[in-house]
Amino acid sequence: MTSRPLLTVVLAAGKGTRMKSALPKVLHRVGGLSLLGHVLRTVGALGASRTAVVIAPQMDDVRAEVAKRLPSAEVFVQEQQLGTAHAVLSARPAIVGHQGDVLVAFGDTPLILPETLQSLLDCLNDDTPVAVLGFEAADPTGYGRLLQDADGNVVAIREHKDATEAERAVTFCCSGVMAFRGPRLLELLDAIGTNNAQREYYLTDAVAIARSKGYRVAAISCPEEEVLGVNSRNQLAEAEAVFQRRFREKVMAEGATLVAPETVWFSYDTVVGRDVMIEPNVFFGPGVTIEDEVIIHANCHFEGACLRRGAEIGPFARLRPGADIGPKSKIGNFVEVKNVVVEEGAKANHLSYLGDGRVGAGANIGAGTIFCNYDGFFKHKTEIGPGAFVGSNTALVAPVTVGAGAYIGSGSVITKNVPADALALERNEQTVREGWAAKFRAMMQRRKAGKH
């Protein structure tokens, strides 16, 4: 999106002690993706030529997340946490010699939009080398205030602890996200001191320093929810709620029906086609694709699955990674599918487990059928041919193949391959003892009466 070379510095060294977690704050998830992952996706959408991520010592898991989400990013370690300006200077090797713009973002603000960051960058020019992203706070307590002159230029950012009573009455607050013309950044950062209540190097002090040098400082505003920083479990839940609301609105705007939108939960990468119908209480984990005209009944759970055009799922179905449900096929109530391709028009309507295998086009899987795929050491595959009919309460002990058009009698345990168009039946011969039940009841009633 940006036309000038862009370096984005993402600050991700915070430990998040208020999260009460052994997991670094930026690795907590919203919509199935880490907070840091959301930020890296956003800055990636800007077309950043370089991205630098600043982490704390011994944050190998954060380093791994950066490598997974944006392999081209450089990682720098802030050895001591001495403030935001100090954190940015930890990426000095990336900043030195950079001739474009520099964007400073935070790894714990997952809701910020690429177009907002682009608008911030668009404020920069030779006379305005600094731009600040602000918001109108419902409760400004604790936020740095953006102090402006009559022309709307920012003259200073005052941290709450250092603000006067008059300055604390200001509701236009600083998000911490800032943009700079690269050649000016080190000049400003190196002039920042620690004359504040926390004795830290505040990045926001760059504003007053820029003004003292005769530069203009611009500010733009965005909705408060967009710059929500996650520092606690409550704020994590708030961020999740905003993410889900946005995603639901997007899905419906693109042609899907959500019967009860507030009960459907999406992941960051869920793909939903047109004319899809989703009933209440449905959860999508990462890696789910839903093609057009799919019907999803209530109370289903999906992860790593693909639902092809016109498939019908649920209610109470669970599709796990590798489930590939073919066009116009049916996975019904209390059916679990894992790593199975279900081809066009096949059906598993009730109470079955299908794990590791393939169900051919038009095949029918009866209630209570189980693919016995695991021997305690290895997974094995079950192959069901097109048009096969598997009777209820069948156990298919993999590896096993049922040929096209074959029939399996109900209650069978199938351990050998079944040829096409054959009947396989494995059960003991039924015996009937006339009058046995009546005699048994009478005996038990006499026994029970004798105990009183």
Q: Residue 61 pLDDT > 60, yes or no?
A: yes
Round to whole Å and give the CA distance between 413 and 426.
6
Q: What is the pLDDT of residue 299?
A: 98
Q: What is the mean pLDDT of residues 1-28?
A: 89
Round to whole Å and give the CA distance between 371 and 397.
6
Peptide bond into 5 cis (omega under 30): no
Q: What is the mean pLDDT of residues 424-444?
A: 92
Q: Residue 1 pLDDT > 70, yes or no?
A: no
Q: What is the mean pLDDT of residues 416-429?
A: 94
For residue 98, the 8-state DSSP code is -
Tokens of 61: 């898991």
Q: Residue 276 pLDDT > 80, yes or no?
A: yes
Q: What is the pLDDT of residue 202?
A: 87
Tokens of 148: 């402006």
| Alpha-carbon distance values, 157 to 173, 185, 204, 417 (Å) | 8, 17, 6, 75
How would residue 2 be classed by pLDDT, with cut points 50, 70 and 90?
A: low
| Alpha-carbon distance values, 118 to 81, 152, 202, 321, 335 (Å) | 29, 20, 24, 36, 46
Q: Residue 258 pLDDT > 80, yes or no?
A: yes
Indicate the helix (H) or strand (E) that contains 244. Answer: helix 233-253
How would residue 199 be classed by pLDDT, with cut points 50, 70 and 90?
A: confident
Cβ-contact 322, 306 below 8 angstroms? no
Round to whole Å and give the CA distance between 366 and 353.
11
Q: Residue 223 pLDDT > 90, yes or no?
A: yes
Cβ-contact 353, 359 below 8 angstroms? no
Q: Which residues pair with 389 in a beta bridge?
A: 364, 407
Q: Residue 141 pLDDT > 60, yes or no?
A: yes
Q: What is the pLDDT of residue 161?
A: 86
Q: What is the pLDDT of residue 59?
A: 95
Q: What is the pLDDT of residue 114?
A: 96
Query: What confidence tens digit (pLDDT) does each residue in 290-305 have?
Result: 999 999 999 999 999 9
Residue 221: other Cβ atoms inside 10 A:
16
Average pLDDT of the residues of the chain: 94
Place of tokens 């399996």: 408
Q: What is the pLDDT of residue 93?
A: 95
Round to whole Å and give the CA distance between 350 and 336.
9
Q: Which of 138-142, 156-160, 253-257 is the most confident on average?
A: 253-257
Q: What is the mean pLDDT of residues 113-120?
A: 96
Q: Residue 452 pLDDT > 70, yes or no?
A: no
Tokens of 19: 């999260």
Tokens of 396: 């298919």
Q: What is the mean pLDDT of residues 203-221?
A: 93
Would you mind telling me the total number of residues written for the chain in this entry?
Answer: 452
**What does 155-190 look like in DSSP terms, one character per residue?**
EEEE-GGG--HHHHT--EEEEEEEEEEHHHHHHHHT
Q: Residue 108 pLDDT > 70, yes or no?
A: yes
Q: Which residues are catalytic?
A: 350
Indicate the helix (H) or strand (E) that contains 312. Answer: strand 312-313
What domains sit in the chain, N to C, each tagged with a CATH number?
6-227 (3.90.550.10), 233-424 (2.160.10.10)
How would residue 49 be classed by pLDDT, with cut points 50, 70 and 90?
A: confident
